[in-house]
A and B are shown apart, each in its own frame.
Chain A
Amino acid sequence: MGFTGLVLGSLLFQDGVGRAVGSDAAWQPPDGKPHLPPKAKSVIWIFLCGGVSHLESFDVKPALNQYAGKSIDETPFAGVLAQENKDIVGGNPKHGNRKVIMPLQTGFKPYGESGLVVGDWFQNIGTCADDLAVVRSLWTIHNDHGAQLTWQTGRHPRELNHPTLGAWICYGLGTLNQNLPEYVVLGVPTGDCCGGTFTHGASYLGPEHGGVRLKVDRKNPLPFISPKDNALSAEEQLENLSLLGKLNYLSGIDYPDDQQLRARIKAYELAFQMQTSIPDVMQIDQESAETKQLYGIDKPESKAFGEQCLVARHLVEKGVRFVQLFHGGGGGGEWDAHSDMKGNHGKLSAQVDQPIAGLLKDLKQRGLLDETLVVFGTEFGRSPGAEGTGRDHHPQGFSAWLAGGGVKGGITHGATDELGFNAVENRHYVTDIHATVLQLMGLDSYKLEIPGRKRLEVDHGEIIHKILA
């Protein structure tokens, strides 16, 4: 880079991480090199807000049709109610206490050589079955939408902000492209009720490692993208930046631990580069008609999310480490089908099914799926029991899948019971997904720890070895 900021920044701050100074003299900040041989270079982290039914997507339970209308107590599986879910905050979940079984609201069938059974709402993703590693035994701690934050950080919302998985990866590995943010957020994130900006924040790792929100907007790819009326030439902008870098350095001497300042210096350099890099990645019109079709951009219902998935591909192509794609965000989340399960999931799946399948296929045909890890998640599942015409929150057992770099394709791991009520086999807390992703990116979560920042075993999670290729 031709100007001062980063150079001065590194002189000034050493590392810029808020840690207990002097508590561990031997400690060194990450050098950007992976701790183990990485299997993937980038992550596309798809998050569906509100709670997607595991029962009608990737953990289909035909028993629900068989016992439809009966109370769980009247089935041979009455025992599922006896399990004490004491880890779930609230202890007495009024959400999730639905007993009268509701039949499946969509059809299902097996796909691919693996024969993975997928609900019809996700039939396009179904055609990628042999690339997916489905984890069917997840559980989380919160039975309300604050669990959206838990999915990203592993913590309950009342523990406020902690670094998200994306922030850890960017902190550990740095960027592959100085012209783009290392961590990009697309779509509308979780509402303030349920984590808000913390769902893509970096907490004590410093705002420079937090997610940068970008809007897919052809007319206005980046606000204030160039000086009004071209008032300044590029050369003048660079000279200004150079002076700014020096001045920020000088007044920052008194604040060597100021993460905001460090992040701001970085933001200025990035902003200058983004003036030219962003219009490029937001370019959709130059894609072929086949590609647009593949992502569902040609259909009104899937256009918006299709464009986001396509831009996600552009971003990982350019070396962005972590792309977080939100769907149905704001407030508690659109997938929250307390009523009209069929209408809600029917409509929303039509928005995402083809784009996500298109993304997987496109990555594969371009040879990018080997180095890109795609993760599909949500905050919790939905109850086997009916809540009117809907299903309730269900933190006791739910599903997610991973595909791409370093993941076995066409397998399922873990299981819920016959009704999909409790995760019973190979149970995994949400941070086990984080541990697995870090492993595939070549990072050892324990080696990233920072003196004075106590992390718990549960924050690190456990690697799900069985799904690794």
Chain B
Amino acid sequence: MTFPQDTWSETVRSGACRRPVLCVLLWIATAASLQATPSNRAALEKHYDRFLTKGLNQCATCHLPGAPKNPESLEEIPHNPFGDRLMLLGKELEAAGKAKDLVARLVIIAAEDADGDGVGNEAELLAGSGPGDAKDAPLPDQLVQAPERRAEFDQFLAAYCWQPFERVRRPAVPVVSRPEWIRNPIDAFVSAEHDTRGLKPRPDAPKAVLLRRVYLDLIGLSPTPEEQRAFAADAAPDAYEKVVDRLLQDPRYGERWGRHWMDVWRYSDWAGWTDGNQIRDSQRHIWRWRDWIVESLNADKGYDRMLLEMLAGDELKPEDPATQRATGFLARNYKMLSREQWLEDTVKHTSQAFMGVTVGCAKCHDHMFDPVSQAEYFQMRAIFEPHQVRIDHVPGELDTTKNGVARVYDVAENPPTYFLNRGDERKPDKERVMQPGVPKALAGVPLEIAPVPLSQDAAVPERREFVIRETLAASDQSVAKALDILVKEYTEPKATPESHRLRELELAKAEGQRVALHAVLRAEELEVRSQKDSEPWKQAAKKALAAQRASAVSAAQLALHRAEQAEEKSREKLTKEAQAALAKAETEAKAELTVAYKPRMAATYPATSTGRRRAFAQWLTQRTHPLTARVAANHLWLRHFGRGIVATPDDFGRSGARPSHPALLDWLAEELMANGWKMKPLHRLLVTSSAYRMSSTPDEANAALDLDNIYLWRMPSRRMEAELVRDNIFYVAGNLDLTMSGPEVDNAEGLTSPRRSLYLRLAAEKEVEFLRIFDGPSVTECYQRHPSVMPQQALALANSELALKQSRILAQRIAEHTADDAEAFVRQSFERVLARAATAEEFAECVAFLSGMDDKVQPVANRESDAARLRERLILVLINHNDFVTIR
């Protein structure tokens, strides 16, 4: 039994290409034999690819039996007539100063008949007989098949040569038979496939359908009735483009597309136990990275810059916490229980998200399909080996568990990356310390690593001006508070001498701590200015120690007082202990002063970073990198058109799917880079193309040729992503809270919080069930969504508090304007919920539904509430309508 390994190979030629460039994919397949294969033979194989039968892939195709064993080139004689001709032609071409590579020569002599057996050279090669051996001519039935084979070969030669591991070159825009359909170059590429396959593009979608499509696509929210009317009334030829431009400037664009990129970049809030006392995955405050994503997209920051900041924001802008938020991309991989897993996830997903290469497979062995060796895997790991996570203060909050910036930094000690035998962390090869590097087959240039000096603020973030100011202020506040309490105590009628004494001692303690803090900060300041061991420092340190000792005495006095007031049964014991502690503190206070004061708990970090991640990010975002732009453009296309040009967006390698429109993808990748990696121009190009504007209605003739619409003869219908379903229920009811940014909202509030879904907590075991049911993102891996149709979705939309409550609210809102006019109610309901007018039949059905109760005998007293209830139910039905969750 043979198995079809390449069912798509007729459409894309990614194996062997005619250009004299080493085609990486072929190279892998033949890597083992390449060394032993003379270059001419390799060129022959490459040119004819699968059309060359095995028997012709050998010396005897050109040489006679008397030639040396394994001839290295055509210089070695004797040849047969075919080899002779190739050799002589090479000399002629050289003399004429023309290209003389073997492929050029093969093309020139294709139609000639070297051995004079009446069948041309190429015809013989395609039929599997020797072109240089007159005795070896094709059999009659082989000649019968020749035209078909010839046509297949010609098609193969003409196919676009897609080389995902070679740098992007902008392909020529095809000339097509339907120029009136072409709105921009995207359409030319799509139309070229239509031409090839005899497909006819569907007409432009009706205005209402297009408007809802582009609203949901760009900002994730349905157009309001006012927006629908304005667009319907705008007869200008660029009415649609004006809408697109406005939506791209809408900050809700960043939220909509931010969520898309959060899928690819694996956004996850922290996960762990006991209310965050133990963080097991990701980090606290990772929402700041989400805000950075939304802000960056809205500002149209270049994709290259975004990657740089996510991978190395701390090295690029050591002074700027706003940029460091971006490194949440890395901090998110934190795994308390396993550094090994943490780094494994980092290498695997950095590679898949940005390069579409499953580098992670090479941890245990050389990659089986793509050009990544196991050693290169560990070189990539070495890039990330020194990085760790930390949480820095933000102004306004001294407790970093309550607020802060989760970010990465490189540790000072240079932890070695050992080659792990079979990828097993228990089996490091200590002889093989891996240096940072990247797979050679990708982009072809090495990393350029230079250490990054960091500022004082980055190294000792707790010395930053605002942290000290707020620390002092907090101390002042404690004193003020203690004083306040004491003053109140003096006017308190029930006060006792003991309670007065308690408050006095509390104040004394707070004062003591404040004095000590000032003294310590002074000493610290001198240390930071590298004046440690100087005379002023010695004095300051001693002063700090004295203040700390005095503060300790105050604290001990307070403790003793409290012990004396304790309950009787434990009083004696506690008092004794407290007396001893006070005695000790007093003794220490009298001891000779030294410089050994107790420093503040202020973390100190290295003053340089390795620069490895910065170098990697620069390597990744250079224009010659073959994959970065292709992968990004594919992700954009996938989310606009419902299917990637490469249908496996995380795998552009040999195990991935072949592209449907390879030339278009290359063109888009180049366009992205040419626009300074800005995404908004590309979005604009995509959504203003004729391809995007097509109707999604079916067509029998096209379906007969391309059932799955791979070649895009219509716009595919799609189901809303989970977040859109939820957001739009709130939104059409007029209740969506459009507040942007901020800490994640508790997932328990998923059905009640009116914030957009991207702000809801999402982590392992902390997700909103409603979103999960609609195929919401997995935090482990989500390179694309796979929308399903499940009965659970029907229950969620029909029975959930969310759907029921919002239906009720919307029904009341509409009824306020329409009073008892059922027809007006139906009209407005359709506009609000489905962003379109009701057809006559729909209208009739809904009006009948609203009047349903009239047919029944009901007590008059209930009439009002029955009508209201029916209206609510009608809205609920529309929210459950297929057209609500579907983007046509």
Q: Name A's B-contacting residues (CB within 8 A).
A: 18-23, 87, 89-90, 92-95, 141, 143-144, 146, 156-160, 181, 191-193, 196-198, 204, 207-208, 210, 212-213, 222-229, 231-232, 236-237, 239-240, 243-244, 246-248, 250-252, 254-258, 260-261, 263-265, 267-268, 270-272, 274-275, 331, 338-339, 387-388, 429, 452-453, 456-458
Whether the Cβ atoms of B792 and A224 lie closer than 8 Å is: yes
Whether the Cβ atoms of A197 and B799 lie closer than 8 Å is: no
Within the complex, what minimum Cβ distance (angstroms) separates B139 from chain A?
26
**Known interface pairs A21-B704, A87-B3, A207-B788; A271-B804 also in contact (CB < 8 Å):** no
Whether the Cβ atoms of B369 and A90 lie closer than 8 Å is: yes
Whether the Cβ atoms of A240 and B876 lie closer than 8 Å is: yes
Q: Does B424 contact A (CB under 8 A)?
A: yes
Q: Does B778 contact A (CB under 8 A)?
A: yes
Whether the Cβ atoms of B769 and A212 lie closer than 8 Å is: no
Whether the Cβ atoms of A224 and B796 lie closer than 8 Å is: yes
Which residues of chain B from 818 to 847 have a CB within 8 Å of any chain A CB?
839, 841-842, 845-846
Within the complex, what minimum Cβ distance (angstroms) separates A180 from chain B?
10
Which residues of chain B from 279 to 313 have a CB within 8 Å of any chain A CB?
none
Q: Does B491 contact A (CB under 8 A)?
A: no
In the complex, chain A residues whose CB is within 8 Å of the CB of B852: 239
In the complex, chain A residues whose CB is within 8 Å of the CB of B651: 158
Whether the Cβ atoms of A224 and B800 lie closer than 8 Å is: yes
Our pick among B2, B648, B704 for the contact of A23 (Cβ within 8 Å) is B704
Our pick among A255, A260, A453 for the contact of B697 (Cβ within 8 Å) is A255
Whether the Cβ atoms of B368 and A94 lie closer than 8 Å is: yes
Stretch of B251-259, B539-547, B878-886 lying at the A interface: B878-886
Interface centre among A21, A144, A191, A252 (most CB of B within 10 A): A21
Q: Name B's A-contacting residues (CB within 8 A).
A: 1-5, 7, 32, 361, 364-366, 368-369, 422, 424, 427, 647-648, 651, 655-657, 696-698, 700, 703-704, 707-708, 717, 719, 769, 773, 778, 780-783, 786, 788-796, 798-801, 804, 839, 841-842, 845-846, 849, 852, 873-874, 876-878, 880-883, 885-886, 888
Within the complex, what minimum Cβ distance (angstroms) separates B502 from chain A?
51
Whether the Cβ atoms of A255 and B698 lie closer than 8 Å is: yes
Whether the Cβ atoms of B657 and A160 lie closer than 8 Å is: yes
6 A-B pairs in the complex with CB atoms less than 8 angstroms apart: A87-B2, A224-B792, A232-B804, A236-B873, A250-B839, A270-B794
Whether the Cβ atoms of B1 and A204 lie closer than 8 Å is: no
Within the complex, what minimum Cβ distance (angstroms) separates B36 from chain A?
16
In the complex, chain B residues whose CB is within 8 Å of the CB of A95: 365, 368
Within the complex, what minimum Cβ distance (angstroms) separates A14 from chain B?
13
Whether the Cβ atoms of B845 and A250 lie closer than 8 Å is: yes
Our pick among A197, A227, A232, A239 for the contact of B788 (Cβ within 8 Å) is A197
Within the complex, what minimum Cβ distance (angstroms) separates B600 from chain A?
44
Considering only CB atoms, which chain B residue lies closest to A275 in the complex? B795
Within the complex, what minimum Cβ distance (angstroms) separates A213 from chain B?
8
In the complex, chain B residues whose CB is within 8 Å of the CB of A265: 882
Known: A92-B368, A258-B698, A458-B4; 15 extra A-B contacts, CB below 8 A, are A19-B707, A20-B707, A22-B700, A90-B369, A158-B657, A196-B786, A208-B789, A239-B873, A240-B876, A243-B874, A247-B877, A257-B698, A267-B794, A268-B794, A270-B794
CA distance A319 to B550 in the complex (A): 82
Within the complex, what minimum Cβ distance (angstroms) separates B784 from chain A?
9
**Known interface pairs A212-B790, A387-B422; A223-B704 also in contact (CB < 8 Å):** no
In the complex, chain A residues whose CB is within 8 Å of the CB of B877: 240, 243-244, 247
**Known interface pairs A240-B877, A246-B845, A255-B717; A264-B5 also in contact (CB < 8 Å):** no
In the complex, chain B residues whose CB is within 8 Å of the CB of A208: 789
Considering only CB atoms, which chain A residue lies closest to B703 in the complex? A21
Our pick among A193, A212, A257, A264 for the contact of B703 (Cβ within 8 Å) is A257
Within the complex, what minimum Cβ distance (angstroms) separates B798 from chain A?
7
Total number of residue pairs linking A and B with CB closer than 8 Å = 197
Within the complex, what minimum Cβ distance (angstroms) separates B750 from chain A?
12
**Known interface pairs A243-B849, A264-B882; A453-B655 also in contact (CB < 8 Å):** no
**Known interface pairs A231-B804, A268-B794; A21-B845 also in contact (CB < 8 Å):** no
CA distance A397 to B511 in the complex (A): 79
**Known interface pairs A20-B707, A158-B655; A89-B800 also in contact (CB < 8 Å):** no
Whether the Cβ atoms of A271 and B794 lie closer than 8 Å is: yes
CA distance A95 to B369 in the complex (A): 12
Whether the Cβ atoms of A388 and B703 lie closer than 8 Å is: no
CA distance A244 to B883 in the complex (A): 11
In the complex, chain A residues whose CB is within 8 Å of the CB of B798: 224, 227, 237, 240, 268, 271
**Known interface pairs A94-B366, A388-B424; A232-B873 also in contact (CB < 8 Å):** yes
Considering only CB atoms, which chain A residue lies closest to B360 in the complex? A193
In the complex, chain A residues whose CB is within 8 Å of the CB of B3: 87, 141, 156, 458
Whether the Cβ atoms of A228 and B799 lie closer than 8 Å is: yes
Within the complex, what minimum Cβ distance (angstroms) separates B271 from chain A?
16
CA distance A196 to B852 in the complex (A): 46
Whether the Cβ atoms of B769 and A248 lie closer than 8 Å is: no
Whether the Cβ atoms of A457 and B1 lie closer than 8 Å is: yes
**Known interface pairs A243-B877, A248-B881; A267-B5 also in contact (CB < 8 Å):** no
CA distance A22 to B699 in the complex (A): 11
Our pick among A213, A228, A270 for the contact of B800 (Cβ within 8 Å) is A228
CA distance A263 to B883 in the complex (A): 14
Whether the Cβ atoms of B368 and A429 lie closer than 8 Å is: no
In the complex, chain A residues whose CB is within 8 Å of the CB of B799: 224-228
In the complex, chain A residues whose CB is within 8 Å of the CB of B841: 250
Whether the Cβ atoms of A263 and B795 lie closer than 8 Å is: no
CA distance A231 to B422 in the complex (A): 59
Whether the Cβ atoms of B796 and A223 lie closer than 8 Å is: yes
Whether the Cβ atoms of A260 and B717 lie closer than 8 Å is: yes
Whether the Cβ atoms of B786 and A144 lie closer than 8 Å is: no
Within the complex, what minimum Cβ distance (angstroms) separates B756 from chain A?
21
In the complex, chain A residues whose CB is within 8 Å of the CB of B794: 264, 267-268, 270-272
In the complex, chain A residues whose CB is within 8 Å of the CB of B422: 338, 387-388
Considering only CB atoms, which chain A residue lies closest to B781 in the complex? A192
Whether the Cβ atoms of B697 and A254 lie closer than 8 Å is: yes
In the complex, chain A residues whose CB is within 8 Å of the CB of B364: 338
In the complex, chain A residues whose CB is within 8 Å of the CB of B886: 260-261
By Cβ-Cβ distance, the 8 closest A-B pairs, closest first, are A271-B794, A271-B791, A263-B789, A224-B795, A207-B789, A94-B365, A228-B801, A21-B700
CA distance A141 to B657 in the complex (A): 17
CA distance A267 to B4 in the complex (A): 35
Considering only CB atoms, which chain A residue lies closest to B841 in the complex? A250
CA distance A41 to B877 in the complex (A): 37
CA distance A236 to B707 in the complex (A): 40
In the complex, chain B residues whose CB is within 8 Å of the CB of A229: 801
Whether the Cβ atoms of B773 and A256 lie closer than 8 Å is: no
In the complex, chain A residues whose CB is within 8 Å of the CB of B804: 227-228, 231-232
Within the complex, what minimum Cβ distance (angstroms) separates B788 from chain A?
6
In the complex, chain A residues whose CB is within 8 Å of the CB of B800: 224, 228
CA distance A222 to B795 in the complex (A): 9
CA distance A256 to B696 in the complex (A): 12
**Known interface pairs A248-B882, A429-B1; A158-B648 also in contact (CB < 8 Å):** yes
In the complex, chain A residues whose CB is within 8 Å of the CB of B656: 158
CA distance A255 to B883 in the complex (A): 11
Whether the Cβ atoms of A223 and B5 lie closer than 8 Å is: no
Whether the Cβ atoms of B769 and A268 lie closer than 8 Å is: no
In the complex, chain A residues whose CB is within 8 Å of the CB of B845: 243, 246-247, 250
CA distance A104 to B880 in the complex (A): 57
Within the complex, what minimum Cβ distance (angstroms) separates A222 from chain B?
7
**Known interface pairs A93-B368, A247-B877, A255-B717; A260-B789 also in contact (CB < 8 Å):** yes
Considering only CB atoms, which chain A residue lies closest to B775 in the complex? A197
Whether the Cβ atoms of A247 and B881 lie closer than 8 Å is: yes
CA distance A239 to B848 in the complex (A): 12
Within the complex, what minimum Cβ distance (angstroms) separates A276 from chain B?
12
In the complex, chain A residues whose CB is within 8 Å of the CB of B782: 192
In the complex, chain A residues whose CB is within 8 Å of the CB of B874: 243
Considering only CB atoms, which chain B residue lies closest to A156 in the complex? B5
CA distance A225 to B798 in the complex (A): 10
Interface centre among A228, A247, A453 (most CB of B within 10 A): A247
